[in-house]
Copies of this chain bind each other. A is one copy, B any other.
Amino acid sequence: MIEQREWKPSVRELVRRREDLRRRLAEQQLDGLCLFSPHHVLYLTGSAFIATERPMAVLQVWDREPVLFIPYLEREHAVETTGCTVETYPEYPDREHPMRRLAPLVAARGLRRLGVDSDGYGGGYGYRGPRLSELVKCEVVQVGEAIEEATWIKSPEELEFIRESARWANLAHALLQEYTRPDAVETEVSARASLEASLAMARALGPGYRPTKSGLPAHAGFRGQIGAQSALPHATTTNTRIRAGDVVVTGASADVAGYCSELERTMIVGRPTEKQKRYFGLMLAAQDLALEMIRPGRRCAEVDTAVRDLFQREGIWDAWRHHTGHGLGLRMHEAPFLDVGDETILQPGMVLSVEPGLYIPGFAGFRHSDTLAVTEGGIELLTFYPRALKDLVIA
């Protein structure tokens, strides 16, 4: 179990992903894939790179090792962190466009039909380039949606990474709660909790652990949702001082092999008022309802419809702002969505956030978010921080 200690996907898992994609795409009769999204490169190779203007891709011919196509400056990093064959180009834009180096790699493999997630590097960061289909003779087939759908169903190993993420998110959140006090400054509380959790995480997981993103590997914070600002689902502030009587909405996560979890809690600073208790209770009831509704075979829309019905029934529609939850894994947000408009059928292995929220402008916001996996029999809660009001009052 060397692989586990390195906190990256095992060779067996990478083969599983490749074979799963091959099976899902069988009808397309593809000879292989060329994927440009950094998330898809990570999914197929287990390797994370800092995305810049320099295009990257993984070229996956069935039954062969994946080929990483990367800029020269990533060569040593790639050789050190991956078992893939590595092909480099000097630089972007350089005198020869990198795509003109990728095209012969495709040609050399004699492929007739190639699946892609996008017809060239998506970029941002100032990148411009030709479509891959302009440069290769083989047929280029868009299969991005099928690849995305493959990533919805998490394997046991992927679930292990998310469980591990939840553990460190839990530590970060426990520290956040401990340091949340009247007169504390949000950034200070958040940075202290995030740093301590990250150091503990790095020490516990050992030198085999590598973050896949910049910034601290574990973090917890408020994202500005403090006091009346907690009523803004996506607030942004930095130096708000926490006051007695405030409702705060938190968030915590941690990066394990690129996987994340989502843990959010509503906490009340000081003795809760009757009004705060009422909304907290309604929020909890909505989350309980969603958790009860989720099981394999249900449609995503049914879960959200039940939650929306509760908002209507309780006369709190004015406090509704967003759907019940979303998929997550290598991305913090991914499909499917627990939303009235999403008819996806829930299946074992799907990982979802469950986070109905109530927002009362000028007063406060109330939202817990938990991460769960759909199982054969129902659900497994992957986050495990207390949800009850009594455990979330800052005395």
**Which of chain B's residues have a CB closer than 8 A to the CB of A327?**
126
Q: Which of A169-201 contact B (CB under 8 A)?
A: 185, 187-188, 191-192, 194-195, 198-199
Q: Are B236 and A50 in contact (CB-based, < 8 A)?
A: yes
Bound complex: CA A232 to CA B73 (Å): 7
| Known A-B contacts A199-B239, A234-B50, A235-B77; A95 and B187 likewise in contact (beta carbons under 8 Å) | no
Q: Are A53 and B94 in contact (CB-based, < 8 A)?
A: no
Q: Are A212 and B239 in contact (CB-based, < 8 A)?
A: no
Chain B nearest CB, measured from A38 CB (Å): 10
A342 at the interface (CB under 8 A from B): yes
User: Which residue in chain B gives the minimum CB-CB distance to A190?
Assistant: B216
**Which of chain B's residues have a CB closer than 8 A to the CB of A126?**
148, 326-327, 331, 333-337
- Pick the residue among B94, B238, B341 that contacts A341 (CB under 8 A): B94
Q: Are A191 and B198 in contact (CB-based, < 8 A)?
A: yes
Chain B nearest CB, measured from A211 CB (Å): 5
How many copies of the shown chain assemble into the complex? Answer: 2
Give A120-156 as 1s and 0s: 1 = Cβ < 8 Å from B's Cβ atoms.
0010111010000000000000000100100000000
User: Which residue in chain B gives the minimum CB-CB distance to A340?
Assistant: B95
Chain B nearest CB, measured from A98 CB (Å): 10
A85 at the interface (CB under 8 A from B): no
**Which of chain B's residues have a CB closer than 8 A to the CB of A145?**
128
Bound complex: CA A213 to CA B194 (Å): 17
Give A224-261 as 1s and 0s: 1 = Cβ < 8 Å from B's Cβ atoms.
00000001111111110000000000000000000000
Q: Are B236 and A93 in contact (CB-based, < 8 A)?
A: no
Q: Are A322 and B91 in contact (CB-based, < 8 A)?
A: yes
Bound complex: CA A52 to CA B125 (Å): 19
A277 at the interface (CB under 8 A from B): no
Chain B nearest CB, measured from A171 CB (Å): 15
Residues on A close to B: CB < 8 A? 48-50, 52-53, 71-74, 76-77, 80, 91-97, 122, 124-126, 128, 145, 148, 185, 187-188, 191-192, 194-195, 198-199, 202-203, 207, 209-217, 219, 221, 223, 231-239, 321-323, 326-327, 331-337, 339-342, 359, 361
Query: 10 shortest A-B CB distances, which residue pairs?
Result: A126-B335, A202-B239, A93-B341, A191-B195, A73-B321, A125-B333, A126-B334, A94-B341, A73-B233, A50-B234
11 contacts between A and B (CB under 8 A): A53-B337, A76-B361, A125-B331, A125-B333, A126-B334, A126-B337, A188-B199, A195-B195, A203-B239, A214-B223, A214-B236
